[in-house]
A = this chain, B = another copy of it.
Amino acid sequence: MCNFLTANKDQLVNIKLNLKQEYKNIKNLNLNLDMSRGKPSSEQLDLSMSMLDTISSGSDCFSAGNIDCRNYGASEGINEIKELMSQIMEANKDNIIIGGNSSLSLMFDTVSYFMTHGILGCLPWTGQNDIKFLCPSPGYDRHFSITQHFGIKMIPIKMNSDGPDMNEIQNLVENDDTVKGIWCVPKYSNPQGITYSNSVVTKFAKLRPAAKDFRIFWDNAYAVHDLTNSEEKLLSIFEECDKYNSSDLPIMFCSTSKITFAGSGVSAIACAGENLKNLKKRFSFKTIGYDKINQLRHFKFLKNINTLKYHMKKHAEILNPKFNLVINKFKEHFLNNPIISWTEPKGGYFISVETLNGCAKETVKYCKGAGLKLTDAGATYPYGIDPGDSNIRIAPSYPNFEELDKAMDVFCLCAKLAAIEKLIMFQSS
């Protein structure tokens, strides 16, 4: 198939007719495919089944210090899981608080805490007018939903190939004291799969915020989620902040949702100084402690960072071929017809696609019409508004290989349809 960008109108109209016929044929297949969320596949979930057998008698239920994990107590989490999380998060064990099955809940509650209580003696955020969060975009829709829920104004920040635009961030953070936070997925970012460069991490640590209560929400969701043998290294934000006297800035979040079970993992916060002191106090009011049996179960199954990384290799063996399939399809269809571009992540759960401007919504709509559910176009931007209407998040993990193959055929066809209609309209005008 020719390059749409250099074809003339007659050629495009002809191609469109063929594409439409192809689309009609696919619709008749009545497909039902879902690539909307970054869900692990059954095959991946099966990797952790033996975790459920690690605790089955009373004597299995005791953690270090003879703590009965079935009972109340140890509200910040058991020692073993703190140790393991400290290795995943590359943070001091004493700086860690263990949560429930969802790191998103921890982020939600941390924002909620600053809303009602503030930090460092600053007014609670509810008492300050027009506060803002910076949102490197495309980014994670559920981050944006949290800030939107609390009525915090969101400012999109451009993402470069090595992380968010630090000039823009520095300018805003250091000059505007209504800027209170930033959402970051620093390793294998959602949706691009970008790992922030050393220079970007260092610039975060060197920020001198205008607002004393500015915080970096560092969602290290894919800390150990490599797809290949060549791990991308993320500089430790804590070590960098220690160097530049800014250890009060970052609050790191992490979970085992995509290590063991997406619905039944263990989450954690790592932070320092006043953040740690205040969040520990917060936890003491909020709960008598999270599920310690599940913490112990995770420790008994994952053991230490080396065995955990071995376990992650098994995930990669399932995921990597799926990512390759998507990227090969893109190459096959679009290398000589560059109406979309895409990222080629070395880890994480997503591939980010850029269509021609104004083609993302239409592509997703066409896919839906053909039985392929994608993340809504726009979802990767604050308020669901993608100014270029060009970003689509591809989540290859959940479908099996055959479904994914079919889904990508649908996607490529729909991307072409949306592009060709835009181009014909453009040439007509």
Name A residues whose Cβ lies closer than 8 Å to a Cβ of B. Answer: 37, 39-40, 42, 45-46, 48-49, 52-53, 55-58, 61, 68-73, 100-102, 104-105, 108-109, 112, 115-116, 124, 126-127, 142, 145-146, 149-150, 257, 261-264, 282, 285-294
Contacts and interface: CB of A to CB of B under 8 A. Distances in A.
A287 B104 contact: yes
A360 to B, nearest CB: 24
Given A104-B287, A116-B150, A285-B146, A52 B55 contact: yes
A29 to B, nearest CB: 22
B291 A71 contact: no
Nearest to A112: B112
A71 B288 contact: no
B287 A263 contact: no
B39 A72 contact: yes
Interface centre among A49, A57, A288, A290 (most CB of B within 10 A): A288
Given A101-B291, A126-B124, A72 B285 contact: no
B285 A264 contact: no
Contacts of A262: 70-72, 288
Contacts of A142: 285, 288
B293 A263 contact: yes
A394 B56 CA distance: 32
Contacts of A71: 39-40, 45, 261-263
Contact of A105 (B39, B69, B70, B287): B287
A80 B302 CA distance: 30
Contact of A57 (B49, B57, B68, B287): B49
A70 B264 contact: yes
A319 to B, nearest CB: 15
A290 B100 contact: yes
Contacts of A291: 100-101, 263-264, 291, 294
